[in-house]
Amino acid sequence: MELEKSLTSGSMPLLVLKLLEDRDLYGYQMIAELRRRSDGTFRLKAGTLYPLLHGLEQRGLVTAYERTAESGKTRRYYHLTKQGQNALQEKENAWHAYAQAVGRVLKGGAYLA
């Protein structure tokens, strides 16, 4: 099932930050890992990812550095900063609250005792 762009665009910063929570990654790794973790639902393109990463970097949520791979190719890796960790936690909390509210509406509403 293909998701509407309006459903995914707002969640991409959260998902990218989450990918960087455990280890530094370069762009292609993020694209592949997002696809893997979502069972193919999220198919992020480089043209979408790199502007997003640039914006996260400008806001101080990630930093970037270059490292040469065994193949000799230089790759740009991204690292989650402390500020990015805090933002990730806030975004996760907001997402869970939003998802619960949507779930309640889809089930007919919240019932107050």
Query: What pLDDT digit, counting tens, does each position of 45-102 carry?
Result: 999 999 999 999 999 999 999 999 888 999 999 999 999 999 999 999 999 999 999 9
- For residues 81 and 92, what is the distance between their CA atoms, to the nearest angstrom? 16
Q: Evaluate if residue 35 carries a pLDDT over 70.
A: yes
User: Order of strands, edge to edge, in the sheet holding 74-80?
Assistant: 25-26, 74-80, 62-68
Residue 96: its pLDDT value, please?
A: 94
- Bridge pairing between strands 62-68 and 74-80: antiparallel
Beta strands in 40-113 (DSSP E): 62-68, 74-80
Q: Above 60 in pLDDT, residue 16?
A: yes
Higher pLDDT, 109 or 95: 95
Q: How far apart are CA 16 and CA 57, in angstroms?
A: 12
